[in-house]
Amino acid sequence: MEEETKKEPEQPQKEGWKEKVKKFFKKTDDLIDEKVEQVKKTKVYEDVKQAAKKAEDFVEDKIEDIKESGIKEKLNEFADKAESEAKEHFGKAKEFGKKVAGKTADKLDDIAENLRKKSQEGTEAKAEGGDEAPPEKT
């Protein structure tokens, strides 16, 4: 029985505390709304509001200017031109690479041929004269 009696008086206290908090928040909300209205009536707020509106108009005008100037088309034309020039230069570089590879292969063949001739001359000299090495050319 004692437990039941203790529980009943605690309930009204919790509700009272909750009500106080609700009233406090309502008063705070009203105070904030009142202060916001006071700030909106000040000259500084009006000046800031006008400055923000001017900035917004300025940005919108600049966006329209950019759209009207055809910058997108100009950029697309530039990209197309750059692509075609890159292809042209790539083709030239490819041809140059083929020429260099061909000349390099020819040079390597010449060097290999010279080495074979020297090797044969050295072998023939050894067969004819013994262990003498052919004179070096400088």
Spatial distance between the Cα atoms of 69 and 62, rounded to a whole number of angstroms: 10
Q: What is the pTM of this model?
A: 0.36
pLDDT per position as a tens digit, 57-70: 999 999 888 888 88
Distance CA 63, CA 76 (A): 18
* CB of 45 closer than 8 Å to CB of 39: yes
Query: For residue range 88-138, what is the model confidence (pLDDT) as tens digits?
Result: 999 999 999 999 999 999 999 999 999 988 888 877 777 776 555 556 665
Residue where the block lists tokens 């006071």:
38
Domain ranges of the chain: 11-69, 83-138
Length of the chain equals: 138
- 3-state class of 92 per DSSP? helix
